[in-house]
Amino acid sequence: MNIEHFLTNANPGWMKNEDGSDIVISTRIRLARNIAGTRFPNSFTEEEAQGIEDQVMNALFSIEQNPYHFSYFPIKDMPQLQRQILVEKHLISPNLAKRKKIGSVFITEDEAFSIMVNEEDHIRIQCLACGMHIEDAFEKARKIDRYLSRHITYAYQERYGYLTSCPTNVGTGLRASVMLHLPALTVTKQMNALIQMMTRLGMVVRGIYGEGSENLGSVYQISNQITLGKSELDILQELRDVVEQVIRKEKSARKALLIRAPSTLEDRLSRSLGTLKYAKILTSEEAASCLSNVRLGVSLGLLEPISQSRLNECMLLIQPGFIQQYVGTTLQPAERDMYRAKLLQDKLSEQDESVNNGEKGEDSI
């Protein structure tokens, strides 16, 4: 699989299984691991880095019974724009994208799995899944972890578990995140209080487009803070409990909005669809907020049906890297805003197969 496959496809395999949940967008599991006997990436030499890469490559490529088909990409060979797109797709971290020499990534064709090598830790296994599939995604990530452990000896201690560069990951090395669309809680200004509550429960809340973008498109990522002193299953269960509670709150906030101001709400959501369909210049902020409104409108049954996967694809496409990839050249921000509008219109006017079956969001109230 060459890199173009991963750069042009805004609708990777893992995003295709819809499960009717229109509040939970996706689940992500990350396992941090290091190889015993080699220093961590922040203090190792280039030779040691190469040694780590060779070990991971041998484990992933040389053995016949490996059930996964990974493609391998060293970061140093990638132009800036390609790195940016992989960050926008959450396949690599911004941290890895900045590297000049060291670091690489292994990705499966459907992009459900990616393994970053020599990022902050030697190995970071990631599993992405559509909708709320915390335990399932964890099992899949753990399978790869078990597979690697047969060929690689991890840095592990009875007392502290999996040893990681940053002590915020030590123990299980597990970070589980769920991405949620919470427009009603955002518009009714309940998010700040909720974020505080979740922080007290040991969760971290962030915007999807990285730090400092908390409100963009009303999409939030909730993940566990604690990795040591709790078992994997407890960590996942606690995250699930918090997420389910937030979903309940979002649902009741939606209901309340519908009762209190139905026509204002319908007007606002319809206007957003109009903007997406007819605007000629769209900043990423405006596009994100209109997409959020349209997603809400579709799920409340106030707007014409658009599939979740189509909306997810649009959310990826509005990012600067994708637009420039689509146009095939680097663009000034003002030019991007014009192409963004065009790209969204093309996407939204395409035939939507899953909707033609007469399906609608099951979560509509």
Question: Which lies closer to another protein via its Cβ, residue 216 or residue 276?
Answer: 216
* Residues belonging to the chain: 365
**Crossing angle of helices 333-349/284-299, nearest 10°?**
20
67 binds another protein (CB under 8 A): no
Structure tokens, 12: 């990777």
- Find the helix or strand (DSSP H, E) in which 315 lies: helix 308-317
CB of 157 to another protein, least distance (A): 6
CB of 16 to another protein, least distance (A): 26
Report CA torsion sign: 339, 345, 350, 355.
Answer: positive
Nearest to 108 by CA among 40, 205, 9, 238: 9
Question: Which lies closer to another protein via its Cβ, residue 227 or residue 275?
Answer: 227
One residue of 21, 55, 82, 84 binding another protein per CB under 8 A: 84
61 binds another protein (CB under 8 A): no
One residue of 333, 349, 351, 357 binding another protein per CB under 8 A: 333
Nearest to 110 by CA among 152, 140, 142, 132: 140
One residue of 8, 153, 192, 252 binding another protein per CB under 8 A: 153
How many Cβ atoms are within 10 Å of 45's Cβ, its own excluded? Answer: 11
Q: What angle do CA 140, 306, 316 make, to 5 degrees?
A: 55
Q: How far is 209 from 287, CA to CA, in rounded Å?
A: 13
Residue tagged 């060929």 (tokens): 151
Q: Which of residues 99-118 bind another protein (CB under 8 A)?
A: none
339 binds another protein (CB under 8 A): no
Q: Which of residues 171-190 bind another protein (CB under 8 A)?
A: 171-172, 174
Alpha carbons within 13 angstroms on the beta-carbon side of residue 192 total 3
Q: Which residues contact 252 (CB under 8 A, 6 or more apart)?
A: none
Question: Which lies closer to another protein via its Cβ, residue 23 or residue 205?
Answer: 205
Q: How far is 293 from 290, CA to CA, in rounded Å?
A: 5
One residue of 11, 71, 149, 354 binding another protein per CB under 8 A: 149
One residue of 160, 304, 330, 350 binding another protein per CB under 8 A: 160
* Residue 17-56 contact track with another protein, rule CB under 8 A, x = bound: -----------------x-x-xxx-xx-------------
165 binds another protein (CB under 8 A): yes
Q: Which of residues 201-240 bind another protein (CB under 8 A)?
A: 202, 209, 211-213, 216, 226-232, 235
Q: 250's torsion region: left (phi>0), alpha (psi -120 to 50) or beta?
A: alpha
Number of residues that bind another protein (CB under 8 A): 62
Question: Which lies closer to another protein via its Cβ, residue 71 or residue 213?
Answer: 213
170 binds another protein (CB under 8 A): yes
Piece in contact with another protein (CB under 8 A), picked from 129-137, 240-248, 315-323, 356-364: 315-323
Question: Which lies closer to another protein via its Cβ, residue 159 or residue 280?
Answer: 159
Question: Which lies closer to another protein via its Cβ, residue 13 or residue 202?
Answer: 202
Q: How far is 110 from 89, CA to CA, in rounded Å?
A: 12
Structure tokens, 245: 């509670």
Alpha carbons within 13 angstroms on the beta-carbon side of residue 1 total 17
Q: How far is 67 from 40, CA to CA, in rounded Å?
A: 28
Positions touching another protein (CB under 8 A) are 34, 36, 38-40, 42-43, 63, 65, 80, 83-84, 87, 94, 97-98, 120, 142, 149-150, 153-168, 170-172, 174, 202, 209, 211-213, 216, 226-232, 235, 283-285, 319-321, 333-334
